[in-house]
Structure 1
Amino acid sequence: MIQVKGMSEERGKSENLFLFLIFYNPNNEIDDNVGITFHRTLRIPDDGKIYPLPPSLGTFPVKRVDDYIDRVPEAWKKQGGVFIPLYQREAMWLEFMNFNTEYPHALKIAVGKVNALSGETWDEEIKQRNVQDYVVTPLQPWLDGINAGDGYIKQFIAMPLGDGYTVEGQVTGEEKVGGCQIVCYAPNHEQRLKQFTPKPVIHRSLQQSEKSYYGGGGASSDFNLSSLKANSSVDIGLFSSPPPPPSEAFGFVMPPTTTCCSSFEAPCAPTMAHQTISFEQKFSECSLDDECVQSMTNEEADNLDFEGSFEREERKKSGAKELGLAAGGKMKQQIIEDPYGHTFWDESTKARIFIHIVNSEMYEQITGETVPPTPITAQTYSSYNYPWFDFYNEDTGSVGKSNILSQVKSVKEVDQEKYAWPQQNDSSVQINNVTTIKGSFNKDDVRDGDW
């Protein structure tokens, strides 16, 4: 049985939620869980260059389908799950957060029921394959796009169904599913106990995290996870997460190694408090502490850089639509090879969820709420020397190239086939500020137990 739980945000604000898959193993060890967050980010240029990882510019609001059951499409009533709003051609990335590093998880990520690592159609088996089709947490902290092999990915970009842009459409020849699908597995209990040592979880952020279960962007530190204990073996939970005020800009957190019985300070969803500012506050005078980067409206951004007037007009005229995920520019991101092997995972623990993606018009029709303004462009972001990120792990291998996904065309390439002129701004970005974070893993580490 799978349950969806929510916790209202303070001060009567509408409920914006983080998505969490929560597992309880047979021994009632409540630390066996993993969180998934959907981050807004910069769309990197599709200019043939390889870019580092862009930052988070906040998180997407997550809504339960069942809370709007009378307003959603008929197909959703059967599929259930949650939905999030993205603008057309907007980028996103996924963050995976383990509450306790002694409890790794395997997660399959699909886009329109096409596996984002292998390109194979959806299935829920964990087995040996030519291309590994799942990520392993906490070794894999983030996923920014579809697997491009050799330590690279192509960025997730939201596009309407039916126009031939999505990964789903190019791989299957149809665009009838859309969204994102996730299935999560816990390890076999006995195998996990044989040998495992907690590892630090790294954090990709524009500021130091505040002290809390999920870091600065997560639930408050006095949140009691044990209160969520359920009779079912698996819960899928939704939790509100009002972002904290930013503290030190450009920081990142490496929580210390934990003991077998303690919780660690998980990486925060790297966001900044959203606050509307007037354009009279010159952007050139802004720092991250002024919260200018996320709080700019589309109109204000127009005065600063060329996002593309045709893109904004396209959004206004598009109408209410469901979206799928397409391929964007190329960036450096290692998809870490499973160091435990496919037999380490217990298929009986699986829990899955369907994440529907809608454009701003459809989101407003369903919820009655407006969508946060679009992020600024990568060009403007880098012009102020704000940080990008590079993460690598020399102790692990990388997932190999997918022959299927290597054939997927980017949004820009499809544009070139459809139109005689550019449909988006892909001018190159000069990057001079990259924060490098190194992960580590040693399967031969000795586990410390109770004594």
Structure 2
Amino acid sequence: MTVTTGPQAIEFSFPDVHADATLRITFHQTLRVPDDPTTYGLPPSLGTLDVRSTREIRPRAVPAADGLLPLWQSEATWIDFSTPQDYPFLVKVGVGGINAITGNSYVPQPDFDAEDYLEAPTQPWLDGFRVDATTVRQFIAMPLGEGYTAAEQLTGTDDGLIRFSVAPLKPDVWAQRPPISRMVVDGCTAAPAGMGLGAGGTIHQSIATPIESHENWDVDARREVSVRIVNSAVWQILTDTPPHRPPLTIDEYLTHGYPWFEWYDDSLARQGGSALSEVQTVRQFGNEKGADPLPDNTSFTPPTPHIVGGA
């Protein structure tokens, strides 16, 4: 079993379980949707973000983590879970010490009663913190220590890490079924080095209810990895590599004519809300502080989204 980090993906490989058991996790640059009462479609990928193994960085320069991810302050990102052979995986996602699906404290072991994980490829993307059955709050990079991040609001602390805990399906279960088809869509000002993820605008995205039996997962083979978010300007100091392009504004986005997407399959959506429904958005928290963290947060009417997937 191996885990590799970089240059543009985190790859979990379980050859001892099955030759097909490989999961690739990538972070995508995307448009930050306005933080307003509108629920938007899924913004597209504007390219994958670089992920650098900390083994390539001077050890004293980086706090403990397996990899580094560069983000500008107020930049949005979404996460793609790609299984090249459609091999199923159980995936837990922790952000700053909380579970991105439930809002509870993050632990790497799956809680089957709480269903605090997602299943790939049934769930191909995660654009933000799950707040209810059909919506998420977009992942937005914000500096630590000012109360903007979701973890800081729920627990008072945020360690700036994105964590993944991954377990493959048992090989004998996989051998008894045909692969599940999956559709793939191709799709600011520098801040302190410490960065976390706050809750941004609302996106229509269902987080599918787990469908695999608990016994089908090889939890003994589970592997973990952590990625530390650093500001893009600091990234260049640490890696001697120029950061990716700055975030697009709404006006630039409309000028390019980028499409919206909608993963239209709410039939499997897990019901009810999560603790993350109590988290204030970056805009709401900033307004209470008398600050303007999202200066270009301009409402607009997006085009009709392209429908992908679904039953």
Superposed counterparts of 1:163-202, under 5 Å: 163-175=146-158, 177-194=159-176, 196-202=177-183
2:52 aligned residue: 63
Query: Radius of gyration: which is bigger?
Result: 1
- Alpha-carbon shift at residue 357 of structure 1 (Å): 0.5
Match of 2:297 among 426, 430, 444: 426
2:118 matches 1:154: no
1:98 to 68, 78, 83: 83
User: Is 1:203–2:184 an aligned residue pair?
Assistant: yes
Residue-by-residue CA offset, 1:110-129 (whole Å, 9 max, x unaligned)? 10120000111111222333
Is the alpha carbon distance of 1:92 and 1:420 closer, same or farther for their aligned partners in structure 2, counting shifts above 3 Å? closer
User: Contact (CA 8 Å) 1:202, 1:439: kept in 2 or not?
Assistant: no
Within 2, Cα distance between the matches of 1:169 and 1:49?
Answer: 25
1:43 equivalenced with 2:28 (yes/no): no
CA contact (8 A) 1:147 1:154 kept: yes
1:268-319 Cα shifts (integer Å, max 9, x gaps): xx3xxxxxxxxxxxxxxxxxxxxxxxxxxxxxxxxxxxxxxxxx4xx24x3x
1:133 counterpart letter in structure 2: D
Q: Indicate if the aligned counterparts of 2:4 and 2:10 stay in contact, CA closer than 8 A.
A: no
Distance 1:83 1:157 in 2: 16
TM-superposed CA distance for 1:412, in Å, is 0.3
| Counterpart in the other structure of 2:270 | 399
Instruction: Determine whether 1:137 maps to 2:137.
Output: no
- Corresponding residue for 2:205? 333
The change in CA–CA distance for 1:58 and 1:432 in structure 2 (over 3 A counts) is same
Q: What does residue range 358-437 of structure 1 map to in structure 2 within 5 Å?
A: 358-393=230-265, 396-419=267-290, 423-437=294-308
Quick one: which of 94, 101, 111 aligns to 1:110?
Answer: 94
Structure 2 counterpart of 1:49, which letter?
Answer: T
1:3 Cα deviation (Å)?
Answer: 5.0
The CA deviation at 1:149 is: 1.0
Does the CA contact (< 8 Å) of 2:153 and 2:279 recur in 1? yes
Distance of 1:170 and 1:342 partners within structure 2: 32
Match of 2:42 in 1: 53
Q: What is the alpha-carbon distance in structure 2 between the residues aligned to residue 379 and residue 420 of structure 1?
A: 22
Q: Distance in 2 between matches of 1:351 and 1:389?
A: 31
* Structure-2 separation of matches of 1:431 and 1:4: 38
1:173 and 1:433 mapped to 2: Cα distance? 39
Q: Answer whether contact 2:167 2:217 (CA < 8 A) is retained.
A: yes
- The DSSP-based 3-state class of the residue aligned with 1:348 is helix
Give the Cα separation in 2 of the matches to 1:127 and 1:345. 12
Aligned residues: 311
SS of aligned partner of 2:254: helix
Distance 1:376 1:356 in 2: 23
Q: Shift of the alpha carbon at 1:141?
A: 0.9
Amino acid across the alignment from 1:201? R
Unpaired segments ≥5 residues, structure 2: none
Distance change in 2, residues 1:384/1:340 (3 Å): same
Contact 1:54 1:389 survives alignment (8 Å)? yes
Report the identity percentage: 31
Residue type of the alignment partner of 1:83: L
CA–CA separation in structure 1 for the residues paired with 2:148 and 2:246: 20
Separation in 2, partners of 1:149, 1:159:
23
User: Which residue of structure 2 aligns with residue 233 of structure 1?
Assistant: none
Which whole-Å CA distance do the structure 2 matches of 1:410 and 1:119 have between them?
14
Secondary structure at the aligned position of 1:39 is classed as strand
Which position in structure 2 is the counterpart of 1:24? 15
Instruction: Using the TM superposition, give the Cα deviation of residue 322 of structure 1 relative to its aligned residue in structure 2, in angstroms.
Output: 1.8
Cα deviation code 1:356-378 (max 9, x no counterpart): 00002321221122212213223
Q: CA deviation at 1:383?
A: 4.8
- Superposition deviation, residue 148 in structure 1: 1.3
AA paired with 2:262? Answer: D
- Would you say the 8 A contact 1:22–1:33 is kept in 2? yes
User: 1:183: Cα distance to partner?
Assistant: 0.6
Q: Report the secondary structure of 1:21's partner residue.
A: strand
For each residue in 1:166-194, what CA deviation from the matched residue of structure 2 results, as whole angstroms up to 9, or x when unmatched?
1111111113x112110111112333333
Work out whether residues 282 and 293 of structure 2, in 8 Å CA contact, stay in contact via their aligned partners in 1: no
Whole-angstrom distance in 2 between the partners of 1:117 and 1:379: 31
**Structure 1 CA distance for aligned equivalents of residues 5 and 105 of structure 2:** 30
